[in-house]
Amino acid sequence: MSEGPNQEPLHDVAHIGHAELLTPKAEDSLRFFVDVLGMEVEATEGQSVFLRGWGDYQRYSLKLTEAPQAGLGHLALRTWSADALRRRAEAIEATGLGGGWIDGDLGHGPAYRFTDPDGHAMELYWETERYSPPDHLKPSLKNQPQRYTGRGAAIKRLDHVNVLAADVRANRDFAEQQLGFRLYERIQLDDGSESGAWLSLSIAAHELIYVRDAYGARGRLHHLAFWVDTREEVLRAADLFLDSGIEIEAAPSKHAVAQGFFLYGFEPGGNRIEVTTGGYLVYDPDPEPTVWNELERAKGQAWGVKTVESFHTYGTPVIEEQPA
């Protein structure tokens, strides 16, 4: 019998609300997210365009911002309540990684800014605007926030974010202890160090992933992943990438870790983008994380596909020289 440590789990942070993506090619990137991924432009403000999938309950899940370099602008996490927001802000303040309050941004209320130990900018917020579709995007089913247009890959919502970190373990600990993420899988190298950690705030197999930065750099992005409901839509997205001239880094297949079904490509700004579905749901409130060793990971993905080398090194901002 597993009795568990009987530690009361932390339920203060609900989910990743949106990610801000930086692109040096704003127009081309926008065309990719609208025409190829099939997102809708919900608003434009300054150098940023706010984009949504047809299943997003908030106004947007992607803030696309023109910038000199590709990369992650920030990650915004929504809490379970106003009190939870206050609790988390205080706890993070105490770690020394806090950055203070901001008034909010388009579509959401006051937010507490901070960075993870690796330096990725993050925010916590509670108040939000739910999406209210214009007439041409009104859905037929009232439990759906927006009409299904079917344009491009027709992604439903932002699914998860994978960030690179110089020290995976330190960031994973922070995510668990300060934000209440739960660890479902991790990779432990033969030297005992951790090279990847799959974390979630819910029964979804992953919402935030930390992977070791091959350059030892800080604050970089590995990829943003957008959800579709079926594997057939991932296969279809590959046809769309192909005929839209989007470089495919990894053709559709099934991950061993977390068992997600994937397609990886690069948006014109240089950021890696995943179209994903599948995986598993973790109903176990007290699961023992799956630990993979080097030998096991060397087998490649679930059906034996070898991971392409760039997947282990490339991130944004791009570092031109070879990793050490």
- The distance of closest approach from Cβ of residue 70 to a second copy in the complex, given in angstroms and rounded to an integer, is 21
Residue 43 or residue 170: which is nearer to a second copy going by CB?
43
- The distance of closest approach from Cβ of residue 65 to a second copy in the complex, given in angstroms and rounded to an integer, is 23
In sequence order, the 6+-apart residues with CB closer than 8 A to the CB of 92 are: 98, 112, 114, 124, 178
- The distance of closest approach from Cβ of residue 148 to a second copy in the complex, given in angstroms and rounded to an integer, is 5
- The distance of closest approach from Cβ of residue 185 to a second copy in the complex, given in angstroms and rounded to an integer, is 6
Q: Fill in the amino acid letter for 124.
A: L
d(CA 5, CA 125): 30
Mapped onto helix, strand or coil, the DSSP state of residue 265 is strand
At residue 97, what are phi and psi to the nearest 5 degrees? -100, 0
Residue 64 or residue 201: which is nearer to a second copy going by CB?
201
- The distance of closest approach from Cβ of residue 192 to a second copy in the complex, given in angstroms and rounded to an integer, is 19
Residue recorded with tokens 């749901």: 281
Contact 196, 259 (CB under 8 A): no
Residue recorded with tokens 């609208």: 34
Residue 125 or residue 174: which is nearer to a second copy going by CB?
125
Q: Fill in the amino acid letter for 149.
A: T
Residue 189 or residue 319: which is nearer to a second copy going by CB?
189
Strands 260-266 and 272-278, bridge-based pairing: antiparallel
Residue 45 or residue 296: which is nearer to a second copy going by CB?
296
d(CA 179, CA 190): 28
